Amino acid sequence: METLLQKMTPGMRHLSIQTQKVEHSNGAIHTHFSLVPGPGRHVLRYKNAFIFVNRMRESKSLDLQTGRPWETITLTTLYSHRHVFEDLFREAHAYAAKSHEGKTSIYNSWGAEWKLFGQPRRKRPLESVILDEGVKERIVDDVKDFLSSGKWYHDRGIPYRRGYLLYGPPGTGKSSFIQALAGELDYDIAILNLSERGLTDDRLNHLLTIVPNRTLVLLEDVDAAFSNRRVQSDADGYRGANVTFSGLLNAMDGVASAEERVIFLTTNHVERLDPALVRPGRVDMTVRLGEVTRYQVACLWDRFYSELDTNGKYRKIFLDRLHELGLIEDENGREPDQPKATSAAALQGLFLYNKGNMDGAIAMAEALTYSVHEEAMEHDRPNGN
DSSP annotation of 369 reads G
- pLDDT value at 262 more than 80: yes
Q: Which band of pLDDT confidence, cut at 50, 70 and 90, is reported for residue 33?
A: low
- Residues 6 or more apart whose CB falls under 8 angstroms from that of 154 comprise 160
Q: Give the integer Cα–Cα distance in Å for 277 and 271.
A: 12
Q: Which band of pLDDT confidence, cut at 50, 70 and 90, is reported for residue 179?
A: very high
- pLDDT value at 261 more than 50: yes
Q: Which band of pLDDT confidence, cut at 50, 70 and 90, is reported for residue 235?
A: very low
Q: What is the pLDDT of residue 141?
A: 97
Q: Which residue has the higher pLDDT, 42 or 126?
A: 126
Cβ burial, residue 180 (10 Å; 0-12/13-18/19+): buried
Q: Which band of pLDDT confidence, cut at 50, 70 and 90, is reported for residue 299?
A: very high
Q: Give the integer Cα–Cα distance in Å for 320 and 328.
A: 9
Read off the pLDDT of each residue in 163-192 and give the average, rounded to a whole number: 94
pTM to 2 decimal places = 0.76
For the 121-288 domain, the top CATH level (class) is alpha beta
What beta strand segments (E) does 192-236 contain? 215-219
Q: What is the pLDDT of residue 63?
A: 63
Neighbours of 293 (CB within 10 A): 19
Nearest Cα neighbor of 206 from 153, 160, 166, 243 is 243
Read off the pLDDT of each residue in 215-243 and give the average, rounded to a whole number: 66
Nearest Cα neighbor of 174 from 216, 114, 226 is 216
- pLDDT value at 229 more than 60: no
* In the chain, where the domains are located: 2-99, 121-288, 294-375
Read off the pLDDT of each residue in 270-279 and give the average, rounded to a whole number: 91
Read off the pLDDT of each residue in 147-159 and give the average, rounded to a whole number: 93
Q: What is the pLDDT of residue 9?
A: 53
Nearest Cα neighbor of 34 from 95, 101, 103 is 95
- Is the dihedral angle over the CA atoms 116, 120, 121, 122 positive or is it negative? positive
**Which of the residue ranges 43-47, 63-67, 198-202, 295-299 would you say has the lowest mean pLDDT?**
63-67
Read off the pLDDT of each residue in 340-369 and give the average, rounded to a whole number: 94
- pLDDT value at 237 more than 80: no
- How far CA 50 is from CA of 42, 44, 80, 93, in Å, comes to 10, 6, 11, 21
Cβ burial, residue 364 (10 Å; 0-12/13-18/19+): middle
* SS3 assignment, position 358: helix
- pLDDT value at 211 more than 80: yes
Read off the pLDDT of each residue in 173-185 and give the average, rounded to a whole number: 95
Read off the pLDDT of each residue in 96-116 and give the average, rounded to a whole number: 84
Q: Which residue has the higher pLDDT, 186 or 45?
A: 186
Percentage, residues of the chain above pLDDT 70: 79
Nearest Cα neighbor of 313 from 356, 351, 362 is 362
Nearest Cα neighbor of 105 from 214, 3, 234 is 214
- How far CA 256 is from CA of 204, 327, 382, in Å, comes to 12, 47, 59
- pLDDT value at 25 more than 70: no
Read off the pLDDT of each residue in 1-17 and give the average, rounded to a whole number: 57
Read off the pLDDT of each residue in 328-348 and give the average, rounded to a whole number: 91
Q: What is the pLDDT of residue 129?
A: 95
Order across the sheet with 161-167: list the strands: 113-116, 106-110, 188-191, 215-219, 261-267, 161-167, 285-288
Read off the pLDDT of each residue in 217-244 and give the average, rounded to a whole number: 65
Q: Which band of pLDDT confidence, cut at 50, 70 and 90, is reported for residue 380?
A: low
- Residues 6 or more apart whose CB falls under 8 angstroms from that of 46 comprise 84, 87, 88
- pLDDT value at 377 more than 50: no
- pLDDT value at 144 more than 90: yes
Average pLDDT, the chain: 83
- pLDDT value at 321 more than 50: yes
294-305 and 313-324 helices, crossing angle to 10°? 140
Q: Give the integer Cα–Cα distance in Å for 210 and 255.
A: 16
Cβ(113)–Cβ(209) below 8 Å: no
- pLDDT value at 325 more than 70: yes
- pLDDT value at 65 more than 90: no
